[in-house]
Each structure stands twice: as C-alpha cells, then as structure tokens.
Amino acid sequence: MEAYDYVIVGGGSAGCALAARLSEDPAVSVALLEAGGRNDKLLVRMPAAVGDLIKAKGPHNWGFWTEAEPNLDGRKLWWPRGRGLGGSSAINGMIYARGNPQDYDEWAQRGLPGWSWDSVLPYFRKLERHHRGGDLHGAEGPVHVSAGESDSPFNDALIAAGEQAGYPTTDDFNGERQEGFGRYDLTVSNGRRWSAAEAYLLPIRGRANLTIVTDARTTRIRVEQGRATGVDFVVGRDARHAAAAREVLLCAGAVQSPHLLHVSGIGPADRLREAGVAVVHDLPGVGENLQDHLDVLMRWRSRGLKTAFSQTRGLRQLAIGIQYMLTGKGLGRQQFLESGAFLSSREGLSRPDIQIHAVMALMADHAKVKATEDGFSLHLCQLRPESRGRIGLASPDPFADPLIHANYLATPEDRRVLRKSVMIARDVVSQAALAPYRDVELAPGDAVRSDDEIDAWIRRTAETIYHPVGTCRMGPEGDTLAVVDPELRVRGLDGLRVVDASVMPTLVSSNTNAPTIMIAERAADLIAGHATVAAL
C-alpha cells in the first residue's frame, strides 16, 4: 500500500492542473494516477498531427463508441477521448475558448455560489499566459495561449464573407464580444501543442512531494464507513492500492468519472444492481445529465487555394514531420483550423447558440477519410443543446467500456438550430469575399435544400465535436440529481470530490478544455482551504 494526502485519478486537463497546484504546498503529498502513458511523442507535440490522434483508438485515445442513437438513424458514433498525461488536451484541436460570461452567471443562478463569471474570470486569468494581454487575460499563467501562424488568405476571406452576410466580427472570442466571425486563440507555444501536461507537469517534474504513476488503471474507489479512503489500481499485472489521508480527487472526465463511480458502487442503486454491482452509496444523478455539442460538417471543393491536401500530400507529409522534428519549423506547427464564428440562430438571443470551426481541409468522419483534393470544411454545432443523455454501466468489469447514450437531437429546438446553421453557412460561403476560393459544395450538396432534406442529411452524418460534460453535475442542497455540491464534494460521502468537465451543470457556449482547467484551478483553492481569488 502507498499512502498520500491526496490521490488524483486521471491525468487529463483537470488532473494535471490540480496535481501542480496542490503540490505547491511542500507539506502535503500528492499522487497522480494516469491510465495512459506520458504522451511525450512527436505525434502529440506537433499541431499538424491532430487528425492522426483524433481518428484512431490507441495509446493516446480511448476511442469510445456511443450506443445506437435513436435520432441519428440508429448510428453508433465515434467518441475520441484523450488517454495519457494531458488527457484530451493532448489530442484536441487546440482551440482556446472560455465560453460566454452568461454561461457562468446561469450556474450561479442555479444556486451555485462562486461560479459566476466574476468569480471564475480570475481563475481563467490565473491559468493563462496569453499573447493578447489586457485586463481580461492573464500574462503569467502556465497555459500558453497564442495566435495562429497561417498566412493563408482563406481565414481573412471567411471573416470578410461573414461581415458581408451581415454578421459582426470580433478580434477576440474571449474578450468583450464573443459574437461574430474572427480568429481563434490556440493552446500552442512556439509551434508546439501546449497540453495541460506541458503546462502544469513539465515545469515541476522533479517536485519531491508529487508522485506521477502512468499506465495506472484505477479499478475502484474504496469507501469505508461513508468515507473514500483510497483507490485500487493496476500497473501491468501488479495490483496496487493508494491510500488518501485527506481526499480522493476524481478527474477522469465526463465519460470515465461516472463510470468509475459506478463500478465502485456509487450511483443509481437500481441500475447498479441490474449491472451486478453491489451498492455502496445510492446517488441517482451519477451518469445522468450528459450533454455534448453535436456537429455537422459542410464541405466545399476549393480553387486557387492551397489547403492541407496539396500542402501535405505524398512525400510532403514525411518532409513536414522531419523538418518539424529537426528544427521545430514548417507546416508541422499548424493545425489548419484558425478561424470561425459564434453566431445566433435567431433574433432575441442574449448570446450565440451556434459555433463554426473553419478547417482548411476536406474533413470527413473524424479525419478517417483521406482527402483527394483541395477544399475547406465548416464544422457547425449547436452550443446549448436541450437534449440530455447518460453514461451507463455494461458490467461490473472496470476494464469494460462504459455505455454512452448521448441521446442527440431529442428536441425540436436542437433540430432547428442545426438546420439553421446549415442555412447560415451556405449564405456566408456564397458571399463575394470567398468567390475566388470556393467551388462546388460537396456536402450536403446543392440538391439538399428543403427542411426535411437537411434534417435527413443531419441524421445521416452528424457527429460529436468532442465536448461531453455534465455527468456528475454540481447542484445546490435539495437537488436530488446533483452528484457534487458547489465545492465539488460528492453528496453523502466524505473525502471524495469530482473535478473535471463532468461537474458542469450545463454545457458552456464554446470548446470545453479551457473551462475544465479553470474548474481545476478553482477547485485547488477550495481543497487547500485557501481564500478563492477575488473578482476584478
């Protein structure tokens, strides 16, 4: 048995931040257990390799599948999730977006003190080393946030086309105005992916009171007399136990945090018994409230534009990798996704409900389908879905994949917003600013025009854009489906918190990596008993 003050399960975005912050106190001992490896390979470091990481199950990617989705023609959807230090921040598209201030004010209005925009902004600033500077951004944090390096005319043309279509522009999606067309900030430092592991663990790898164990698969949270006392885990064939004198901190993400609670006997009693798991603590909300951004992918053949296809085809791809490995220079520094938009699907909304990610490549099926020509793609997603799914339990086996019931497009509003996003994208791409570069629309194609035809295409092709949250959600006293309280303590148990995207009560209006790190930054102060950072 190994003994520590804090045992952190999961070395993803939240776990890395939490491990670094808690171990700043030399009087405490911290163990970080990560089921994957160190994620120190070239494939992870090089931004241009993102497609290789997303598309395949392997050492960097858990590669889950959903159950058959009833509103998507019964399809099972591919769900990549990061494996190894850095978690999904080691395989994502490196977009740094914090969400809309109203997202967090709504959390506070739900009875969650300390989670308003004014309360969380100091933690965003604390984590950032931001290229923009200014009062809304941090300059000394561990997470490097940079501008993209692409000199392609496509990004400016897209932004101009959005303006021609009547939409606003913004020079900072994380600034005073989120809404409009603009360029994304990236978690990239000097052409290198800046994952949470790079940001938080690399600078402190010799810290004496921090033990990092990789390839460590946690199998159970031990609970004795109403208190979490540690975790069982395996490394190879060796079964081990880590005791936690103070707290067990679950940071395994929106899929695996509820799954580990389930196999530990913590969750809805009836479903645990159905799966053959002995009930340790009946907690009905574990695994419920699953939310995700569903994405449709429109594609256009291009002309007069060098996109990822012509720039990386054939031996060029090998040359790019060699150049990057030897010098850190060249196209390996780019991920071909630097512009997009946050837009409203109708008048009267207080914040955008559609996000666009523009890719200088013909993407299809999570990059599993290789492009054969130049073109560009627009990812379109609804930011605040009404549909709710759940994470289920297949068996008592902790090594079995969880059951993912995403339940996409279960409401008319979810279907309306995605349909509207297709119409908006067509209008933008038809503008004069993109005329020199656009050619034929490949997907869904000009023949798909009516509402019914667009809806059918969405059902056939929509996929996740990798933002699941909410499965161990925060809630106030009296909320029977809340898994954790506003300080992220698991209801009804001592010594156990959940700190990751699963605690979000509602999905933020953006990518989720930055908000997840923010949650961990604030949690570190709550756990250590520090005064939380004052609002500006």
Residue 225 DSSP code:
T
b (16+ CB within 10 A) / e for 124-142: bbbbbbbebeeebbbeebb
Distance of CA 361 to the CA centre of its chain: 22
Residue 61 has, within 13 A of its CA and on its CB side, a CA count of: 21
Closest residue by Cα to residue 149 from 373, 339, 371, 361: 339
In whole angstroms, what is the distance from residue 119 CA to residue 487 CA? Answer: 13
Active centre residues (catalytic): 467
In whole angstroms, what is the distance from residue 155 CA to residue 338 CA? Answer: 7
Contact between residue 155 and residue 338 where contact means Cβ atoms under 8 Å apart:
yes
Residues composing the chain:
536
Q: What are phi and psi of 243, to 5 degrees?
A: -85, 145
What is the biggest distance separating any 2 CA atoms in the chain, rounded to whole angstroms? 69
H-type alpha helices, 165-218: 196
Closest residue by Cα to residue 14 from 87, 69, 66: 87
Structural element, H or E, at residue 177: none
Closest residue by Cα to residue 53 from 69, 36, 66, 34: 36
Q: Which residues contact 19 (CB under 8 A, 6 or more apart)?
A: 8, 11, 30, 32, 200, 201, 210, 212
In whole angstroms, what is the distance from residue 146 CA to residue 220 CA? Answer: 39
Q: What are phi and psi of 247, to 5 degrees?
A: -150, 150
The encoded tokens of residue 493 equal 């148990």
In whole angstroms, what is the distance from residue 108 CA to residue 180 CA? Answer: 26
Tell me which residue has tokens 């079995």. Answer: 400
In whole angstroms, what is the distance from residue 410 CA to residue 343 CA? Answer: 22
H-type alpha helices, 358-490: 412-429, 451-461
In whole angstroms, what is the distance from residue 277 CA to residue 395 CA? Answer: 8
Q: What are phi and psi of 162, to 5 degrees?
A: -60, -40
H-type alpha helices, 222-366: 253-263, 269-274, 308-312, 315-327
Which class for 98: exposed (0-12), middle (13-18), buried (19 or more C-beta within 10 A)? buried
H-type alpha helices, 407-512: 412-429, 451-461
